Every structure is written in structure tokens, then in C-alpha cells.
Amino acid sequence: MSEVRLTRRHLLALGGLAASALFFPQCRAVLRQFLFSPEGEVVPPHPLPAAAGRGKRRVAVVRADDVGAAVREAVALVDGLAALDCRGRQVLVKPNVVYGKPPPATTDPRVVAALLALLKEARASRLSVGDMSAVVSLPTRPNLEATGIAAAAAAAGADLLPLEEGEWVEVRPPQARHATAFHVARAVYEAERLVSVPVLKAHRSASYSLTLKNTVGVVHARNKPWAYGGTAWEEVVAELNLAVHPRLYVADALQVMASGGPWSGR
């Protein structure tokens, strides 16, 4: 596995967390991600979806006052449900819940709700909604609740999956160079279909956050881009998408964070 490089700043932060963990459960959740390597079987990377090798991708941009209608139209324009082929399959929806604040820092729950309704109509056998918040914002479960994502999942009968609460598997994409192995949430790896629902926003370290960047939320803290020295954010983000392949992206641009980010900006 690629070496995780902890800087002096990281070590000082860990020391502070260790002291705080004596009193605050949230700090214990953060510290656990740093100090304990996940145990998981080594599994092969999934093959790329068939559409991935066909050159240009189909992209639709829709403007509408009705969020549900906008999501429905956008998915229809790219023939998304046909490409997803989710009838009788387990589908995991992955929003951006970096922490517990409302849009545009996180995916709008109305977009998640509209997408879940479409997937139910398409006869998916089981729906789940999962993410792992930024390490300093753990645990994820209260963030899912605060953002309204948990309520959207419950209304659709979908399982709620704070990914750090589950098991991990190790994926070693042969093409990767900066990070040669990733610990991926088992629930994500085993989902028959993965739908990514990012939010469009600026990002201080990765220039901007959208489709590829949203996949960061499915890997363990030790595989986050900053853990590899912080000088190859874009490269590590690209490489972790060799381990995880969403079949459909539904990007939330109802509100756009044009500067700052990913936590706050304007």
C-alpha cells in the first residue's frame, strides 16, 4: 500500500485530538480513523462500465423551478436509467455530506429525494444512501441527519449508511501511481449500481469539487488525498476513481459555491 505521509502539522493535530478524545466522543471518532488501519480483504477492481470506453460522455444541463422535474428531465436527457440498468439491483446513492451544514456545502436533500423516487420507479430492488464526512467532521450519521439527507432516505425506504461505521475492502488499481491501494467501504464496493450525487463548489486544495472528487467520501481516512503529502490532489482523486466507478452522476448545481470551499465560501 502507498505510504501515508504525516507531516509535523498532522502529528501536532493528532496530539491535540488525543487529548480532546478523553472528553469528546467526536474527537474519538476522528482519532480512530488516523490511528487504526482498516482491515479488509484484497479484492479486484471492478471493470469499467461498458459506456466508459465509448469516447465522449453525455451531459445534460437543466434549469427548472421544480427540483424533482429538473432531476427527472436531466436523467432522461442522458438516458440515465437505461444506462444504469437498475431493475432488480441494489443501488447505492452517494451524496456529498462533507459536514453537517446546508447547501451549497452539501448536496441538497431535494435532489437526493427526487433521484430516489426515480430509482424506485425503475424497480431497483434495494436502495441505500451513504457517505463518509470529512475526517474532522466525523461521525457522519449526525451530519446526514442535520442536512436532511437522512430524512430523504427514510421517506424513500432507503438504508442509511454512514460508511465509516461499516467494513472495508482493499482495492489495488494496477494503473495507479500515487496511491497504489485504497480501502473502499465494502457497502460501496458490493453495491450493484453506484450513483454519485455531488454538489458543484470550489475547493481550496482540488480547485473544484464535482464528479470525480465526490468519490473521496467512499475511502478510508488514510486514503484521502491530503494523506499523500498534499501535492498531488488531482492525481490521487483521479486514481481513486480507478477503484470506484459510479454509473451515473446527478450533479446538484441549485446553489454553486464559486469561491472558498469545500466548507464555506460564496
- Report strand pairing: 182-185 vs 168-171: antiparallel
Q: Are 88 and 123 in contact (CB under 8 A)?
A: yes
The confidence score (pLDDT) of residue 26 equals: 60
Q: How many residues does the chain have?
A: 266
Question: Using omega within 30 degrees of 0 as the cis cutoff, is the peptide bond preceding 139 cis?
Answer: yes
What digits encode the pLDDT tens for the residues 21-51?
444 556 566 666 656 678 889 999 988 776 6
Q: With cut-offs at 50, 70 and 90, classify the pLDDT of residue 1.
A: very low
Q: At what angle do helices 67-77 and 109-121 cross, to 10 degrees?
A: 50
CA angle 150, 262, 33 (to 5 degrees): 65
Here the cell at position 25 is 466522543
From the number of C-beta atoms within 10 Å of its C-beta (0-12, 13-18, 19+), residue 61 rates as exposed
- Higher pLDDT pick, 4 / 57: 57
d(CA 221, CA 88): 33
Q: Which residue has the cell 472495508?
A: 168
| Top-level class of domain 38-257 | alpha beta
Q: Are 26 and 139 in contact (CB under 8 A)?
A: yes
Most confident segment among 11-15, 81-85, 146-150:
146-150
Nearest to 80 by CA among 130, 46, 124: 124
The rounded mean pLDDT for the chain is 85
> pTM for the whole thing?
0.86
Q: Alpha carbon 127 to chain centroid distance?
A: 16
Question: Using omega within 30 degrees of 0 as the cis cutoff, is the peptide bond preceding 104 cis?
Answer: yes
The confidence score (pLDDT) of residue 132 equals: 97
